[in-house]
Every structure is written in C-alpha cells, then in structure tokens.
A = this chain, B = another copy of it.
Amino acid sequence: MGEAANDTVRLLWGPPAKPTRGPKPALTLERIAAAGVEVADAEGLAAVSMQKVAGLLDFTKMSLYRYVPGKAELIALMVESAVDEPPRPAEGTGWREQLTAWSGHLADSFARHPWLLDATVGPRVVGPKELTWLERVVSALDGHGLTGPERMDAAVLLAGHVRGIAAQSRATGPAGSPEAEFLTVFGLVMQQHADRYPAVAAAVAEPGGRDQALDFGLERILDGLAALIERRTAQP
C-alpha cells in the first residue's frame, strides 16, 4: 500500500476536498464510479479500463487522473458505490433472524454485481458502506456472551460463507447460461475419473435440490453459534 492507502482513505472517507481556484470540475467522483460500475456490470471487472470509463463519460482517459490517483482507487470507489446499504434490523428480531437477513442481502449484492468478488480480493481500504455491513453483524451479536474478537470472527465467518457461495453460483451460472459449461466440463471429468474420486462421484450422482448451498451453510453456522451462545449464557 504505502502512501496510496492515505489517498484511498481520503477518497472514501475524507471530506470532499474543495479547491477554490481554477475551472469548475466537470465530473464528480460519483459519476465516475457509476460509469465504472456500468462497465463492470456489463463486461466484468477485467474490462474496466481508464479508457473505457472515460469514454463512457465522453472524456479522455487522462482527465480521470484529475479525480482519482489511479485505477486501484477507482475500483475502491466502484465497490463503495455498488455495494448495497445493509438491511436495517427489524424491531424485535433476534440475532439469528438478523444474521439470516444480512446474509441474504449480501448474497444479493454479489449476485447483482458479480465483479465484486474480483474487486474485493486482497488487502484494501474498506469504505463506509462496507464497514456498515460489518457493524450490523457485530451489533446483532452484542449481548450474547461473546467476546469482541469472537464477534468479529463470527462476522468473518459469515462473510466468508456468503462469498464462497457467490463465487460458486457465479461459476455455475443460471441453468442454460454460457457459464453452465463449467458444470458440463466438471461432469465429464468426473465421469472419466470416477474411480479416483468415488465419494465426489457418488455425491454428485445423487439427485437433490440445487441452490440450497447458501442456506445449508448458513444454518450450520447459525446452529454452531447458537450452541456457543447457549453455553455462554448458561454459565455466567
């Protein structure tokens, strides 16, 4: 990161620097981020280039550098712009319902903007909206006997699961989609090497509802958390 981290923090968190002299800027960070999101939604994150984003706004590539230090910061803005607002916890709902709703909404975000998976790998500065997601999980678990680090770990656990599911469902894609070739290829490979992978071969041969993966993992995690909470609240 180095110095770039400071720039990114200022961009995502800081007060919008208000220069006084010179011509009025013709663009805004919001418009730039929105254009980037548009490109990424349509053609994937790899297709996002300064050229294309600038072209979409009828500007030249270099003009973007007046607003954004570099491509990494542009993507950080895109993430912050594309991520949904986390759901407000309904009044009187328990931690389990809150976390279930949270996971569903996060999965929706990933489904709407699959490139978020690519954009959020690796160390980076998180934005205000992204941090709000974390806040919701941690606060949903407040007051149930978990330590602070444990609440954070639980958040990482949940987020990791939703991510994993989103990655999987992007890879397979909706039935009949071009990405579904992935499943075909996988099926052929399994068929030819069933002897080396008997357990997997048997598991995929067995019929059963697809698309249950999110709920399945979620229920296991929540059951596991419930067991811990029960133990903690039973013996204070």
Given contacts A5-B185, A147-B208, A148-B205, whether A153 and B193 have CB atoms under 8 Å apart is no
Q: Is A154 an interface residue (CB 8 A)?
A: yes
Residue on B with the closest CB to A215? B153
Q: Is B152 a contact partner of A203 (Cβ separation < 8 A)?
A: yes
**A121 interface neighbour in B13, B118, B151, B212, Cβ under 8 Å:** B118
Given contacts A221-B220, A224-B220, whether A156 and B139 have CB atoms under 8 Å apart is no
Residue on B with the closest CB to A141? B199
Q: How many residues of A contact B (CB 8 A)?
A: 79
Q: Is A159 an interface residue (CB 8 A)?
A: yes
Chain B residues with CB below 8 A from A152, complex form: 200, 203-204, 213
Chain B residues with CB below 8 A from A223, complex form: 223-224, 227-228
Q: Is B164 a contact partner of A159 (Cβ separation < 8 A)?
A: yes
Chain B residues with CB below 8 A from A181, complex form: 1-2, 5
For window 52-98 of chain A, which residues contact chain B by CB distance below 8 Å? none
Q: Is A222 an interface residue (CB 8 A)?
A: yes
Taking the closest CB of chain B, its distance from the CB of A132, in whole angstroms, is 7
Chain B residues with CB below 8 A from A117, complex form: 121-122
Binding site for B on A (CB under 8 A): 1-2, 5, 9, 13, 117-118, 121-126, 128, 131-132, 134-135, 138-139, 142, 147-154, 156-157, 159-161, 163-165, 167-168, 170-173, 178-179, 181-182, 185-186, 188-189, 192-193, 196-200, 202-206, 208-210, 212-213, 216-217, 219-225, 227-228
Known pairs A135-B199, A148-B202. 10 more at Cβ < 8 A? A1-B181, A1-B185, A5-B181, A13-B193, A123-B182, A132-B196, A139-B199, A152-B204, A160-B161, A220-B224
